[in-house]
Amino acid sequence: MRAVAEARTNIALVKYWGKRDARLNLPAVGSLSLTLDGLTTRTEVRFDAALAADELALNGAPADAAATARVSKFLDLVRARAGRAERARVVSANDFPTAAGLASSASAFAALALAATRAAGLELAARELSILARRGSGSAARSVFGGFAQMHKGTRADGEDSFAEPIESDLDVRMVVAVTTDAAKATLSTDGMRHTMETSPYYAAWVALSDGDLADARRAIAAGDLEALGAVTERSALAMHASALAARPAVVYFSGATVDGYRAVQAMRKAGVPAWFTCDAGPHVKALTDAAHAPEVARRLAEVPGVLRTRIAAPGAPAKVLE
């Protein structure tokens, strides 16, 4: 009735933006990501017949009602699957500062899916776990796996073909993360996606690019071609943000530091440093590079006005059960 699991966050190289089904959390496009080391969520779940309601503690403090309700809804899926009715106490903590603006629903729901199913007596195969984690957050489906992973959008109405899979690779990549603010993001990804879908004249164009970008990224990984992977990484992020920028009113995740970070990455590339920009539903700058150049990329991004701190992340491990 109790289990502890951990999962790492991931950054999409080919982005997910838009849903084909909001209730089942089915993505409108596939995506391809890198799971990162050193950005880990550890989650304990204990089902207990004596509890009247689900309880959630996040980073040592009781969580607010919205976060507790989101976790409770997810636990309902696990309870239904396991044929259990007990409420649970969930204790979750990140090994990175939550205020770093990197707190991710990806590591959170991957760790919760694994801990909750084990605590409920279920042992799901990785694909089943990915499908379940997707219900909590689309990006969490990818954090079930280590290293590179591809999320399939699937076509089935029940979402059973919408899961992530690991991709083998010899590429020794790094993701340099440059934190630009300690504030929480202004527009949550689910809201930003919905608004982009509903109002952006560029949304259809964004969706139309996805399959080609995924194919190019797969080819680049198979060929060990970091430059080709970097090119698709940068253009996928910029096209995603372009679709959001064209929404009415615009969804703008960039800050001044984001744009300056982008320019710094461009300048590095011009000077022969392999680095490619990416950015998610917040202003932080992320740069894909290789192991040899990661310290220099981090040093240069740290010099960008508005960058508070940087960290270098190597590919991380899959989600795993600890206890």
290 close to 274: Cβ distance less than 8 angstroms: yes
Segment near ligand PMV (CB under 6 A), from 15-23, 79-87, 163-171, 261-269? Answer: 15-23
CB closer to ligand PMV, 183 vs 271: 183
By DSSP bridging, strand 55-58 and strand 87-94 are: parallel
Q: Hey, what are 20's tokens? A: 């084909």
Binding ligand PMV by CB under 6 A: which of 40, 43, 107, 139? 139
Nearest to 175 by CA among 83, 317, 290: 290
> Which residue, 55 or 234, is less far from ligand PMV as judged by CB?
234
Q: Rg of the chain over CA atoms, in angstroms? A: 19
Does position 30 bind ligand PMV by CB under 6 A? no
Contact segment (CB under 6 A) with ligand PMV among 8-16, 70-78, 173-181, 306-314 equals: 8-16
The 3-state DSSP class for residue 273 equals coil
Q: Supply the minimum distance, in Å, between the C-beta of residue 226 and ligand PMV.
A: 20
User: Which residue has 């920028």 as its token pair?
Assistant: 245
Between β-strands 2-14 and 320-321, what pairing exists: parallel, antiparallel or unpaired? antiparallel
- Residues in 266-305 that interact with ligand PMV by CB under 6 A: 280-281
- Which amino acid, residue 22? A
Query: Segment 71-110, which members bind ligand PMV (CB under 6 A)?
Result: 105-106
**Contacting ligand PMV (CB under 6 A), which of 59, 72, 187, 190?**
190
CB of residue 64 vs ligand PMV: minimum separation in angstroms?
18
Query: Is the CB of 16 or the CB of 148 nearer to ligand PMV?
Result: 16
In this chain, which of 18, 30, 101, 138 binds ligand PMV, going by CB under 6 A? 138
**Nearest-angstrom CA–CA distance, 38 and 94:** 10
8 sits near ligand PMV (criterion: CB under 6 A): no
Structure tokens at 270: 């011009």
Give the integer Cα–Cα distance in Å for 192 and 69. Answer: 21
Cα–Cα dist 266/276, whole Å: 8
Of the candidate spans 76-84, 136-144, 172-180, 227-235, the one that interacts with ligand PMV by CB under 6 A turns out to be 136-144
85 vs 104: CA distance, rounded Å? 28
Helix residue spans in 84-202 (DSSP H): 105-119, 126-136, 140-143, 189-199
Number of residues that bind ligand PMV (CB under 6 A): 14
Q: Of the two residues 169 and 190, which places its CB atom closer to ligand PMV in the complex?
A: 190
Question: Which of 189, 233, 255, 258: binder of ligand PMV (CB under 6 A)?
Answer: 189
Structure tokens at 296: 């220099």
Q: How far is the CB of 138 from ligand PMV (least distance, A)?
A: 3
| Positions in the binding site for ligand PMV (CB under 6 A) | 12, 15-17, 31, 105-106, 137-139, 189-190, 280-281
